[in-house]
DNA sequence: GTAGGGTTAG
């Protein structure tokens, strides 16, 4: 045996005070061989090797050695094997070993309890944790530093679950109460004790207490916040969107050399991203000397949460390229990017990966898939994924309800909402947004009112801007304009914004009420004088009423204020390319073919009874020009391109940035019949599925 | 020998 190995052995056997004794697997095996050769398999030094194997997480080696020990193995051997089981997540084996140990009358030593407490925490098994706690009390070990630290961790993790099951030692005592009790009675506390309590407070939303503890910790002797402390409290500033406090912590981390720590790194990335400082997140990401899967997850999620969808996808690709194995979280972070980009084929590919990696039962992923399929126009697939979710939580329900709402399946949305209630899932703020949206898209006025009234009364959720907007939309579209006006004027808790008034303004346009529109516009401009949408809408209302002078006056006013209309734009994915069209856009290389196809279609449409609705052209121009303007609306160009560039029978999916115009809506119904294809158009509020001459919205939109 | 931290869905 070499000198260096001899040195290692003597170092190990001398029980060096160095706690993190680093021994390689090879060294441990050599030591084992040496001991077996010189002292035999039964010598007690083998137990030291077992603890080395256990620390190295070598389950097979540990087990093999453990089984070769004379019976009954001593306490140290048991604590080593139990630790190994726990760190391999073989939690039931941890407990069955503990039982065997006791049935062999081996007295449990202090070292078994932390591993067992950890196992009970991972199993979320409250009763086990309590009996372990009781056991340590009987043995007088409950204030042992390591055991108390483990107890604090266990109780902190059970805090929320404890309220539900009411299993804490004394009725009405929460997990955090137990945390405090254990912490208070400890004769000696170390930095781990403080960090565990701080993390417990932080993870349970007790931010004031967490930050107080950090200050207290500094005062109390020599303990200084370390990297563990910082990574526990950074999420507080992320949630509170307090970038200044977050920066202070960042500064402290830099001064103390923690800024390259992977844990702090991902907290910093997340904190800056949640504070809308994506550039700072990127900097924190790039300076990390070593990036793990969570660092990648954080930057991907950060990009996606800040609307940088392509960037988020780019980081996901780079993560794969650098051979970092994606985790379930990686997928639930990146799928929403596909949803927002309407990238159906990419979303499908990712779904494939998810299934292959066995992540398809993850509830976060499932909900994001439901939403992605719905937003990409495939409501059937959204429903398929939803139906296969084992445990449907509120987010999953909300995703499918919102999906149905967007696709105009209002009755499905309403009955799903009822099913959710029957399932005992409490609806939240967003769930009510979804069901109210469904009602407004289908004109279910009574149902909408019922839900609106029940949210505060039955569920204690105060209606927010989105709910008021949905009800205003519901009333407005149904033509109950005065009622909607009163409803908005009497909003409680929140002030009506320009966007809520615009909803009513749009309804005034649909129901041709110039008088109320003028009243609404006044209200709107008083809260949002720069709202260009309002000017456009009002000028369109005047135009539709042939009040060209008023319309022109508004447009001049807009121009003076430097407000510009959002240009209408539609796009379609053909092959792997996105083709974008503006109204009257002649820049597409196939423009001539597109135009010709539209001419042919128009001829056939008119034979079928289509009459152009030139009222939809809101300029004071002659009829011929009006025809041409409508003929060149962006959605028609995109659809025509889809027809000539894909094989017969392929569904055409078009997306438009603003609402589809009424004449185009009629025209597309004719087109779908003539070409025998399904056409899906997603505008900024919903999907229209055109098939065989009709639209899924039932012309109510 | 035994204890603590970061990321995710509507």
What are the CA-CA distances from residue A421 to residues A388, A418, A446 (Å)? 19, 5, 19
Confidence of residue A246 (pLDDT cuts 50, 70, 90): very high
Contact A496, A523 (CB under 8 A): yes
What A53-56 contacts at long range (C-beta under 8 Å, 24+ apart), as own/partner pairs, is A53/A28, A53/A80, A53/A84, A54/A80, A54/A81, A54/A83, A54/A84, A55/A23, A56/A23, A56/A25, A56/A28
CATH number belonging to the domain at A464-565, selected among 1.25.40.10, 1.10.357.10, 3.30.1360.120, 3.40.50.2300: 1.25.40.10
Cis, peptide link before residue A72, omega less than 30° from 0: yes
Residue A655, classed as helix, strand or coil, is: strand
Distance A271 CA to B6 C1' (A): 11
Q: Which of A53-67, A165-179, A379-393, A575-589 has the lowest mean pLDDT?
A: A165-179
SS3 A365: helix
A:149-188 Cβ neighbours of strand B under 7 Å: 149-150, 153
Rounded to an integer, the average pLDDT of A140-152 is 95
Could you give the CA distance from residue A180 to residue A194 in angstroms, rounded to a whole number? 11
Q: Is the CB of A574 under 7 A from strand B?
A: no
| Residues A142 and A136 sit within 8 Å (Cβ to Cβ) | yes
Average pLDDT over residues A681-685: 87
pLDDT of residue A449: 95
Which residues in window 97-116 of A are less than 7 A from strand B by Cβ? Answer: 109-111, 114-115
Would you say the C-beta of A203 is within 7 Å of strand B? yes
- Sole residue written with tokens 């081996």: A106
Report pLDDT for A7.
56
Check residues 224 to 243 of chain A and report those whose beta carbon is under 7 Å from nucleic acid strand B.
226-232, 234-235, 238
Angle at A118 between CA A113 and CA A124, to 5 degrees: 125
**pLDDT confidence bin for A20, thresholds 50/70/90:** very low
Helix (H) / strand (E) element for A580: namely strand A577-582
Sheet of A569-574, strand order? A577-582, A569-574, A652-656, A679-682, A687-691, A694-695
Of A86-100, A299-313, A660-674, minimum mean pLDDT range: A660-674
- Any atom of strand B under 7 A from CB of A192? yes
Token output for A516: 């109320």
Give the model's confidence band at A4: pLDDT under 50 very low, under 70 low, under 90 confident, else very high: very low
- Cβ < 7 Å from strand B, A residues 242-271: 258, 261-267, 270
CB A366 within 8 A of CB A389: yes
Nucleotide nearest to A366 (CA to C1'): B9
Q: Any idea which nucleotide's C1' is nearest the CA of A329? A: B8
Q: Which residue has the higher pLDDT, A129 or A629?
A: A129
Burial zone of A108 (CB within 10 Å; 0-12 exposed, 13-18 middle, 19+ buried):
buried
The domain segmentation of chain A, as residue ranges, is 464-565, 569-695
Q: What share of chain A is helix, strand, coil (3-state, %, to 5)?
A: 65, 5, 30
pLDDT confidence band for A165 (50 / 70 / 90): very low
- Residues near A328 by beta carbon (within 8 Å), at least 6 away in sequence: A359, A362, A364, A365
Q: For the residues A478-487, what does the mean pLDDT come to?
A: 94
HSE of A174, CA atoms in CB hemisphere, 13 A: 11
Look-up of token digits 């086990």: A128
CA geometry: angle A89, A91, A95, nearest 5 deg: 155
Checking each nucleotide's C1' against the CA of A430, the nearest proves to be B10
Point out the nucleotide closest to A394 (alpha carbon to C1′).
B10
What is the per-residue pLDDT for A657? Answer: 87
Position A14 pLDDT exceeds 60: no
Asked if strand B comes closer than 7 Å to A431 Cβ, the answer is: yes
Can you tell me the distance from the alpha carbon of A641 to that of A120, in angstroms, rounded to the nearest whole number?
A: 61
The answer to whether the C-beta of A332 is closer than 7 A to strand B is yes
The reported pLDDT for the residue numbered A22 is: 59
Q: What is the pLDDT of residue A93?
A: 94
A402 CB and strand B closer than 7 A: yes
Q: Which nucleotide is nearest to A362 (CA to C1')?
A: B9
Eight-state DSSP code of residue A616: G
CA distance A322 to A291: 10
Residue nearest to nucleotide B8 (CA to C1'): A329
Please state whether beta strands A687-691 and A694-695 pair in parallel, antiparallel, or not at all (unpaired).
antiparallel
At residue A40 the predicted structure's pLDDT band, cuts being 50, 70 and 90, is confident
Distance CA A449, CA A400 (A): 21
Nucleotides of B under 7 A from a protein CB: 1-10
Write b or e for each residue in A324-356: b if 16 or more Cβ atoms lie within 10 A of its Cβ, otherwise e: bebbbbbbbbbbbbbbebbbbebbbebbeebee
Protein residue with the closest CA to the C1' atom of nucleotide B5: A228
Confidence of residue A19 (pLDDT cuts 50, 70, 90): very low
Q: Quick check: A294 and A326 in contact, CB under 8 A?
A: no
Burial of A49 (0-12, 13-18, 19+ CB in 10 A): buried
The model's pLDDT over A497-507, given as tens digits with 9 standing for 90+, comes to 999 999 999 99
Res. A162: pLDDT tops 90:
no
Q: How confident is the model at residue A476 (pLDDT cuts 50, 70, 90)?
A: very high
Residue A79 banded pLDDT, cuts 50, 70, 90? very high
Closest nucleotide to A149's CA, by C1' atom?
B3
Q: Indicate yes or no: strand B within 7 A of the C-beta of A660.
A: no
**Confidence category of residue A9, pLDDT binned at 50, 70, 90:** low
Q: Tokens for A283, please give them.
A: 């900097």
Instruction: Point out the nucleotide closest to A375 (alpha carbon to C1′).
Output: B10
pLDDT of residue A367: 96
Nucleotide whose C1' lies closest to the alpha carbon of residue A227? B5
The pLDDT tens digits for A551-608 are 888 888 888 887 777 788 898 888 878 888 888 878 888 888 888 988 888 889 889 8
Contact A440, A470 (CB under 8 A): yes
The residues with which A695 forms a beta bridge, in sequence order, are A690
Query: Does position A5 have pLDDT exceeding 80, yes or no?
Result: no
Q: What is the share, in percent, of chain A residues with pLDDT greater than 70?
A: 94
In this prediction, residues A306-334 reach a mean pLDDT of 96
């Amino acid at each position: 045996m070499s000198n260096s190995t001899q040195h290692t052995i003597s170092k190990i056997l001398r029980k060096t005070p160095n706690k993190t004794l680093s021994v390689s697997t090879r060294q441990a095996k050599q030591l084992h061989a040496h001991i077996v050769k010189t002292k035999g398999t039964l010598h007690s030094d083998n137990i030291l090797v077992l603890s080395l194997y256990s620390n190295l997480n070598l389950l097979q080696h540990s087990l093999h050695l453990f089984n070769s020990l004379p019976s009954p193995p001593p306490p140290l051997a048991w604590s080593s094997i139990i630790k190994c089981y726990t760190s391999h997540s073989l939690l039931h084996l941890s407990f069955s070993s503990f039982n065997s140990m006791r049935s062999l009358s081996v007295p449990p030593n202090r070292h078994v309890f932390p591993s067992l407490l950890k196992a009970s925490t991972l199993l979320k098994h409250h009763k086990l944790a309590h009996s372990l706690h009781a056991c340590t009390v009987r043995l007088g070990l409950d204030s042992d530093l390591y055991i108390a630290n483990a107890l604090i961790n266990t109780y902190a993790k059970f805090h929320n679950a404890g309220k539900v099951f009411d299993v804490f030692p004394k009725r009405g005592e929460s997990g955090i109460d137990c945390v405090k009790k254990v912490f208070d009675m400890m004769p000696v506390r170390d930095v781990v004790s403080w960090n565990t309590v701080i993390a417990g407070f932080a993870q349970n939303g007790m931010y004031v207490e967490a930050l107080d503890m950090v200050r207290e910790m500094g005062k109390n002797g020599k303990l200084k916040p370390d990297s563990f402390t910082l990574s526990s409290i950074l999420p507080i500033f992320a949630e509170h969107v307090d970038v200044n406090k977050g920066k202070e912590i960042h500064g402290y981390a830099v001064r103390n050399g923690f800024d390259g720590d992977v844990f702090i790194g991902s907290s910093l990335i997340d904190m800056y991203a949640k504070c809308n400082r994506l550039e700072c997140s990127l900097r924190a990401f790039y300076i990390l000397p070593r990036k793990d899967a969570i660092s990648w997850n954080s930057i991907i999620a950060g990009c996606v949460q800040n609307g940088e969808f392509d960037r988020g996808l780019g980081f996901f690709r780079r993560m794969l390229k650098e051979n970092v194995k994606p985790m379930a979280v990686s997928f639930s972070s990146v799928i929403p990017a596909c949803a927002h980009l309407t990238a159906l084929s990419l979303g499908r590919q990712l779904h494939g990966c998810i299934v292959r990696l066995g992540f398809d039962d993850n509830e976060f992923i499932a909900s994001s898939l439901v939403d992605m399929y719905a937003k990409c126009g495939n409501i059937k697939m959204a429903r398929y994924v939803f139906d296969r979710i084992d445990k449907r939580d509120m987010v999953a329900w909300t995703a499918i309800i919102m999906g149905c709402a967007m696709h105009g399946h209002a009755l499905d949305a309403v009955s799903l909402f009822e099913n959710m209630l029957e399932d005992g899932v409490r609806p939240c703020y967003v769930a009510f947004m979804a069901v109210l949206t469904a009602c407004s898209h289908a004109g279910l006025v009574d149902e909408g009112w019922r839900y609106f009234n029940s949210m505060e009364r039955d569920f204690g959720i105060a209606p927010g801007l989105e709910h008021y907007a949905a009800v205003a939309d519901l009333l407005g579209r149904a033509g109950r304009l005065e009622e909607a006006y009163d409803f908005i004027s009497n909003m409680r808790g929140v002030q009506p914004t320009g966007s809520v008034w615009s909803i009513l303004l749009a309804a005034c346009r649909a129901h041709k009420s110039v008088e109320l529109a003028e009243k609404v516009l006044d209200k709107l401009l008083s809260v949002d004088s720069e709202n260009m949408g309002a000017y456009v809408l009002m000028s369109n209302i005047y135009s539709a009423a042939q009040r060209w002078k008023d319309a022109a006056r508004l447009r001049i006013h807009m121009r003076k204020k430097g407000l510009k209309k959002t240009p209408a734009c539609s796009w379609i994915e053909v092959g792997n390319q996105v083709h974008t069209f503006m109204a009257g856009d002649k820049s597409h290389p196939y423009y001539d073919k597109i135009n010709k196809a539209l001419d042919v279609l128009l001829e056939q449409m008119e034979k079928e009874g289509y009459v152009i609705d030139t009222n939809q052209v809101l300029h004071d121009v002659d009829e011929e020009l009006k025809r041409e303007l409508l003929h060149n609306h962006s959605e028609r160009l995109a659809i025509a391109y889809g027809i000539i560039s894909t094989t017969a029978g392929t569904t055409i999916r078009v997306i438009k940035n603003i609402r589809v115009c009424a004449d185009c809506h009629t025209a597309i119904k004719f087109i779908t019949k003539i070409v025998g294809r399904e056409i899906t158009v997603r505008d900024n509020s919903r999907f229209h599925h055109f098939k065989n001459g009709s639209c899924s919205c039932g012309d109510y939109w």
